[in-house]
Amino acid sequence: MRIKICGLTRREDALAAAQFGADALGFVFAPRSRRRVDVEAVADMVATLPPFVTAVGVFQDQPLDEVNRIIDRCQLALAQLHGHEDVAYLAGVRCRTLKALSLAGVEDLQRLATFPGQTAFLLDSGSGGTGETFDWDLALRAKAFGRIVLSGGLTPDNVATAVAAVRPWAVDGASGTEAAPGVKDSEKLRTFIANARRAAGRMT
C-alpha cells in the first residue's frame, strides 16, 4: 500500500514526510485552497526530494494550459484533479492523472464509471482538505471501478482502522497531519505514516 501526504507548503515538512516513509507528496495549486503554494517554491522543493518519492500537483477547475505549465515547471509526476474535469480534459494533461471524487451516497458511485480508462480514483468527503470522513462501505464498493486512494478525515488515530476496513491501494493524509493549515505537525506526520504502514503490513 502507498502513503501520500498532501497539503505541503514548507520544505522541511516535505523532507520530513519523505524521511518518515511517504511514497508521494501533494502540493496544492487550487486557487481557493488555504494550502495553496507558490509554483516556484514547489519547483524548488521537488528538486530536493529523494529518489522514488512522487510529486503530485492538486488542481481544481483550472485552465489546462495553466495546469500543464505548472506540471512542467515543477516536474510533477501526477496531477490530482478535484473539480469538474471530464475525460477530454484528463486526456490533455501532460502527466498521469488521479481523479478525485466525493462520495456522499450510493448514487455517486456511478460517476466513477464515466471515466473509462481511469485506473485510480481518490475518494473524499468533499472538495479536499475538509477533514471529514465518509462512509467507507462506499469506498469498498468503489474498488470495482479501479484502484482507490482513500482520503477524507484520516488521522494518526483512525488510519489503521481505515486501512483494515477498506484495504485501499493508497491512503492520503492532509489536515489530520497538521498543526495548522499547510503546516505539518512532525509527530502526527510520523505517527500517521507509521500506523498506516503497520496496518498495511498486517494485510499481507
Cα angle value 193/195/198 (rounded, 5°): 105
Confidence of residue 48 (pLDDT cuts 50, 70, 90): very high
pLDDT on residue 105:
87
Q: What is the mean pLDDT of residues 178-199?
A: 97
Per the structure, the count of domains in the chain is: 1
Cα–Cα dist 58/104, whole Å? 21
Catalytic residue (choose from 6, 13, 74, 172): 6
Tens-digit pLDDT profile for residues 59-117: 999 999 999 999 999 999 999 999 999 999 999 999 999 999 998 889 889 999 999 98
Secondary element (H or E) of residue 17: helix 11-20
Confidence of residue 125 (pLDDT cuts 50, 70, 90): confident
pLDDT on residue 202:
79
DSSP 8-state class, residue 50: P
Q: Quote the pTM value.
A: 0.94
Structural domain boundaries, residue 182: 2-201
Confidence of residue 204 (pLDDT cuts 50, 70, 90): low
Q: Respond yes or no: is residue 124 known to be catalytic.
A: yes
pLDDT > 70 fraction of the chain, expressed in percent and rounded: 96
Q: Phi-psi category of 49—alpha, beta or left, where left has phi over 0 and alpha has psi -120 to 50?
A: beta
Q: What is the CATH number of the domain that holds 194?
A: 3.20.20.70
Catalytic residue (choose from 13, 74, 124, 172): 124
Mean pLDDT, the chain, rounded, equals: 94
DSSP assignment of 120-179 equals EEEEESSSS-------HHHHHHHGGGSEEEE-SS--TTTHHHHHHHH--SEEEESGGGEE
Q: Respond yes or no: is residue 95 known to be catalytic.
A: no
